[in-house]
Amino acid sequence: MLRLENVSAAYAQSPVLFGVNLEVRDGEAVTLIGRNGVGKTTLLRTITGLHAISGGELHLNGESVTREHAFARARAGLAYVPQGRGLFPHLTVEENLRMGLPALSGREGVKREIPELVFDLFPLCRDMAGRKAGNLSGGQQQQVAIGRALVTRPRCLLLDEPTEGIQPSIVGEIEAALTRVRRELQVAVLLVEQYLDFAWAFADRYYVMQKGTVVESGLTRDTPTASVQRYLGV
Ligand SMILES: Nc1ncnc2c1ncn2[C@@H]1O[C@H](COP(=O)(O)OP(=O)(O)OP(=O)(O)O)[C@@H](O)[C@H]1O
């Protein structure tokens, strides 16, 4: 589905990612963990095309998209929920959801409307359709942000710390919704997360990043969270 080979990226003359190798297979849930500042957000932005790749190769569905722009990668099935949700606070929930629709242009047989499943997974997207997104709670905004990403009918969803600043009861709802997304839509997920219990409950496999590169990977079910906690400690 998604394969990174030796991917590097930099901010001006400062390298931040060094030869990252990572794979997310069809329908798989993978979590990427690591301390603040190791390059997780930069990696997600590099995958989406929002940040320039300076070396290596990026494959989507078996084809190289290394030189494709963000819009082409979205059309090829990538969707991204950024850290802090990235909603437009002065637009309504419905207007935010509709922002995902342009990525569908040119895709044959796909109606340019919000799929019913988004309302089914996140009923607040219908119940609060006319409310300004900026007036919603953090947990509600996160649900709208995931709903907006699903509007593009992605095959691979990239999520940057969806539990950040969200109360535990809502984390459970988000986990349940994402599990349904995987099962019912066969969407693969790459989840950047600091909340290990959530990441381990959700993901099949994990990667650990340190200083801009992957230093460990494995199956979550074979690896107690205690053994990777040291990578997140101060
Ligand atoms: N716009 C930018 N310009 C210059 N350097 C940046 C920029 N954004 C991030 N960096 C630097 O790149 C490195 C990686 O940052 P990044 O945000 O990708 O890490 P992260 O692992 O996602 O951390 P966090 O969990 O805090 O978001 C850090 O050293 C950071 O200071």
Residue 18, domain CATH: 3.40.50.300
pLDDT at 165: 84
- So what's the pLDDT on residue 75? 87
Ligand 1 site-directed mutation target among 7, 16, 160, 213, most atoms within 8 Å of CB = 16
- Number of domains, the chain: 1
**Mean per-residue pLDDT pooled into runs of 10, the chain (234 residues):** 96 94 95 96 96 95 92 91 91 93 68 85 94 93 93 93 87 87 90 93 96 96 93 78
CA distance 37 to 4: 20
pLDDT digits (tens, 9 = 90+) for 7-60: 999 999 899 999 999 999 998 999 999 999 999 999 999 999 999 999 999 999
Please give the helix or strand (H or E) that residue 199 lies within, else none: helix 196-202
Residue among 18, 38, 213, 234 whose CB has most ligand 1 atoms within 8 A, to mutate: 38
User: Domain range holding 222?
Assistant: 2-231
Question: If phi over 0 gives left and psi between -120 and 50 gives alpha, with beta otherwise, what is residue 20?
Answer: beta
- Predicted pLDDT of residue 215: 96
Q: How far is the CA of 181 from the centre of ligand 1 (A)?
A: 29
Which pTM does this prediction carry? 0.93
Position 124 scores a pLDDT of 93
22 Cβ below 6 A of ligand 1: no
* Cα(185)–Cα(165) distance, integer angstroms: 27
Distance 233 CA to ligand 1 centre (A): 18
Can you point out the beta strands (E) in the chain? Answer: 2-11, 14-24, 29-33, 55-60, 63-64, 78-81, 156-160, 188-192, 205-210, 213-219
Nearest-CA residue for atom 2 of ligand 1: 11
Q: Per residue in 7-20, is it b (16+ CB within 10 Å) or e — as a string?
A: bbbbeeeeebbbeb
Ligand 1, atom 10, lies closest to the CA of 11
Ligand 1 pocket, residue 42 CB under 6 Å: yes
Question: Is 88 near ligand 1, meaning CB less than 6 Å away?
Answer: no
